[in-house]
Amino acid sequence: MTIKELERFFKSGQVTADLLAACRQDGRAAAGKLLQRYERQQAKLAEEKRRLLSMYRYEQEAREKGCELIAGVDEAGRGPLAGPVSVAAVILPEKLMLPRLNDSKKLSAKVRDELYDEIMEKAVAVKQIFVDSAVIDRINILQATMQGMYDAVYGLSQKPQMVLIDAVHLDRLPMPQLSLIKGDAKSASIAAASIIAKVSRDRLMDEYDRKYPQYGFASHKGYGTAEHVEAVRRYGPCPIHRLTFEPVRSIVEKR
């Protein structure tokens, strides 16, 4: 084969053991480079598969106890000065391989969007909940987050037999649960929930940016950047600001 023909075979995925053996015996430097590149790619794929399988550790332990429907629960937006907290619950099929699945904070917006679509398509069940700023101001952010988590779990189309939650314990859940610190990096189900919660909230904040353009919500998503705080000082809070959060609270008192 010419080098171009070899390249086409490697790009098309039509790689056989015989082809690899022939490349190892091929004295051409270009053939050797194609082989090395292919082997590096395969090593990366194998490592990614091992990483993904390790993220099913807690789901597998639950299945060994007889639980088939395992929900992961996570939130996005506890810290911002404006907008709701977003909560999601996700039940994944057993050991579903979703390349790049990880804590949503470790992923680019583009990758999160792609994984969002794949999770929505392949998950057994998904429920996403917004708890708005008025509720947050009334009962505080922790209680609002927990309320959203209860609503997300109860709103799933299939009742989970086990719930894995990122860093929060829900006393009133009727099924077994496990709270995992940094669970969105340890559990595939929680990671999937973190992506659904984050992408849903970001898209909503983009909508709010069009409604309240003076605050720049599309760029900071409601977090307390210098630009955002200055806009609150200049224009005052809008209906989605959390009035009990500093520095919004102090700004309102001064105004």
**Cα atoms found within 13 Å of the Cα of residue 185, Cβ hemisphere only:** 5
Task: Write the CA distances from 63 to 51, 69, 122, integer angstroms.
Answer: 19, 8, 19
80/132 Cα distance (integer angstroms): 12
**pLDDT over threshold 90, residue 27:** no
Rounded to the nearest 10 degrees, what angle do helices 29-54 and 3-12 cross at?
Answer: 10
The CATH class, in words, for 57-197 is: alpha beta
pLDDT at 73 > cutoff 90: yes
Q: pLDDT per residue over 104-146, tens digit each? A: 989 999 999 999 999 999 999 999 999 999 999 999 999 999 9
Res 42 pLDDT > 90: no
For the stretch 24-47, what's the b/e string if a residue is b when 16 or more beta carbons lie within 10 angstroms of its beta carbon? eebeeeebeebbeebeeeeeeeee
What's the pLDDT band for 175 if we cut at 50, 70, 90? Answer: very high
- At 127 the pLDDT is 98
Burial of 132 (0-12, 13-18, 19+ CB in 10 A): middle
Q: What residue has token string 């990880």?
A: 102
| Boundaries of every domain in the chain | 3-54, 57-197, 207-254
Nearest to 195 by CA among 127, 142, 119: 119
Helix axis angle for 109-122 and 188-211, nearest 10°, is 120
Residue 49: pLDDT over 90 = no
- Mean pLDDT is lowest, of 38-42, 83-87, 216-220, for 38-42
1-24 per-position pLDDT tens digit: 899 988 888 888 888 899 899 999
Closest-CA residue to 101 (of 57, 51, 63): 51
Distance CA(129)–CA(214), nearest Å, equals: 26
- Is the pLDDT at 95 greater than 90? The verdict is no
Distance CA 103, CA 152 (A): 19
Helical packing angle, 17-25 and 29-54, nearest 10°: 140
Q: Report how far residue 4's alpha carbon sits from residue 30's, in angstroms, rounded to the nearest whole number.
A: 10
Confidence of residue 231 (pLDDT cuts 50, 70, 90): very high
Cα 83 to Cα 133, 170, 182, 250, distances in angstroms: 6, 23, 23, 18
